[in-house]
Amino acid sequence: MRLLEVLAKHDVHATFFLIGRYVSQRPEIAREIVQAGHIVGNHTLTHPLLTLKSEAEIRRQLLACRAALHDAVGDHSNLFRPPFGGRRPAVLRIARELGLEPVMWNVTGYDWKAPSAEVIEKKVARQIRGGDVILLHDGGHKNLGADRSQTVIATDHLIARYKEEAYEFVTIPEMMSKPAVSSQPSAVR
Ligand SMILES: [Zn+2]
> How many domains does the structure of the chain reveal?
2
Let me know whether 19 and 98 are in one domain.
Answer: yes
pLDDT in tens, 90-133: 999 999 999 999 999 999 999 988 899 999 999 999 999 999 99
**What's the CA gap between 49 and 177, in Å, rounded?**
29
Distance from Cα 53 to the centre of ligand 1, integer Å = 16
What are the pLDDT digits (tens) for 142-180?
999 899 999 999 999 999 999 999 999 999 999 999 765
Q: Are residues 84 and 155 in the same domain?
A: no
Rounded to an integer, what distance in angstroms lies between the CA atom of residue 75 and that of residue 65? 13
Q: Which of 102, 123, 150 is the last residue of a domain?
A: 102
Domain end among 102, 137, 161: 102
In which domain, by residue range, is 84 found? Answer: 14-102
Q: Are 95 and 112 members of one domain? A: no
Q: Is the pLDDT of residue 186 over 90?
A: no
pTM: 0.92
- Are 112 and 176 found together in one domain? yes
Q: Do 94 and 157 share a domain, yes or no?
A: no
User: Which residues are close to ligand 1, an ion, with C-beta < 5 A?
Assistant: 83
Question: What's the 98 CA to ligand 1 centre distance in angstroms?
Answer: 20
Distance 25 CA to ligand 1 centre (A): 17
Task: From 65, 8, 66, 64, select the one nearest 33 (Cα to Cα).
Answer: 8
Same domain, 123 and 51: no
